[in-house]
Amino acid sequence: MSITIKTGADIDAMRIAGRLASEVLDFLTPFVKPGVTTDELDKLCHDYMVDVQDCIPAPLNYAPGGHTPYPKSICTSINHQVCHGVPNDRALKDGDIVNIDITVIKNGWHGDTSRMFLVGNASIAAKRLCALTHDAMWHGIAKVKPGIRLGDIGHAIQTFTENLGFSVVREFCGHGIGLKFHEEPQVLHYGRPGTLEELKTGMIFTIEPMINAGKRDIKSLGDGWTIVTKDRSLSAQWEHTILVTETGYEVLTLSAGSPALPAFITATKT
């Protein structure tokens, strides 16, 4: 398969899926507090997606090549967990940071977004990591327009991040998205300007950098899903689903509760 170019009707459907994914996070926000278990958050999201939004939670039983089927409806990655943290019966505690990653399927179309949450009073270092990772994602988004190349996006994220002394995870990347959860192309969060695929109007893909406070190295836990930093340093991630427009980009995963834009961004649609 190659990169799909979405039609006007496809894009309308992806706008709906994207907004719904973001609205799950809006709904969940007041529940992300010390004492709540990630299983409870998973159940809240599952029921909201299925009963309120009439959506399918894309992660549930997702089993890409060789993987054991993912057992839950959302991913919850806490502190040194990089991504794909599996909800369980452990409670969040004061000072944790947690990435919550939501992917809905609405009328066959996928919307994929994640945010960082501070649980109670997080350390200055943890807050800074979450904020700069949000900025790193937006530095990538800001590059998006027809004619640039995927390497330009990766380069923008990598240089911003490494200049601050943080590291970019290499093993996981953004991805094309549409009728399938993970489509071509792979959207690396590091790279060289002017390299890789050229962006065309109508492409839709995610940008979802994982940034570590320590070294970039990761390892996978025995559950077959959860990824952690090898040095146990904190890791953060944010994710949006992005449409390439004739003049730039449109962020599809926005809703009333989306966080404020970084100062260097003036619009969610250019």
Q: Which residues bind ligand MF3 (CB under 6 A)?
A: 59, 62, 70, 75, 84, 101, 103, 112, 206, 208, 225, 239
183 touches, from ligand MF3, Co ion, none (C-beta below 5 to 8 Å by class): none
Residue of 107, 113, 119 lying closest to 16 (CA atoms): 107
- CA 52 to each of CA 45, 59, 101, 108: distance values in angstroms, whole numbers, following the listed order: 10, 18, 18, 17
Please, what is the minimum distance in Å from the beta carbon of residue 198 to ligand MF3?
23
Count of CB atoms situated within 10 Å of the CB of 1 = 7
Please, what is the minimum distance in Å from the beta carbon of residue 265 to ligand MF3?
21
| Nearest residue (CB) to ligand MF3, 101 versus 250 | 101
Choice from 81, 161, 206, 235 touching Co ion (CB under 5 A): 206
DSSP string, 33-96: STT-BHHHHHHHHHHIIIIIS--EETTTT---TTPPPP-SSSEEEETTEEE-PPP-SPBP-TT-
Site for Co ion in 63-122 (CB under 5 A): 101, 112
152 touches, from Co ion, ligand MF3, none (C-beta below 5 to 8 Å by class): none
| Nearest residue (CB) to ligand MF3, 23 versus 112 | 112
Please, what is the minimum distance in Å from the beta carbon of residue 190 to ligand MF3?
17
How many angstroms separate the CA atoms of 34 and 184, rounded? 38
- 250, two tokens: 């449109």
Task: Look at residue 216 and give its three-state secondary structure.
Answer: coil
| Nearest residue (CB) to Co ion, 18 versus 151 | 18
Backbone angles phi, psi at 80, to 5 degrees: -85, 0
Residue length of the chain: 270
| Nearest residue (CB) to ligand MF3, 221 versus 267 | 221
Please, what is the minimum distance in Å from the beta carbon of residue 123 to ligand MF3?
26
| Burial class, 68, CB count within 10 angstroms (exposed 0-12 / middle 13-18 / buried 19+) | exposed
Decide if residue 42 touches Co ion (CB under 5 A).
Answer: no
| Nearest residue (CB) to Co ion, 152 versus 239 | 239
| Nearest residue (CB) to ligand MF3, 239 versus 250 | 239
Please, what is the minimum distance in Å from the beta carbon of residue 133 to ligand MF3?
14
Per DSSP, helices labelled H in the chain are 8-28, 38-47, 124-143, 150-163
- Tell me the residue nearest to ligand MF3 as measured from the CB: 59
- 9, two tokens: 């009707």
| Nearest residue (CB) to ligand MF3, 67 versus 90 | 67
The contact set with Co ion (CB under 5 A) reads 101, 112, 206, 239
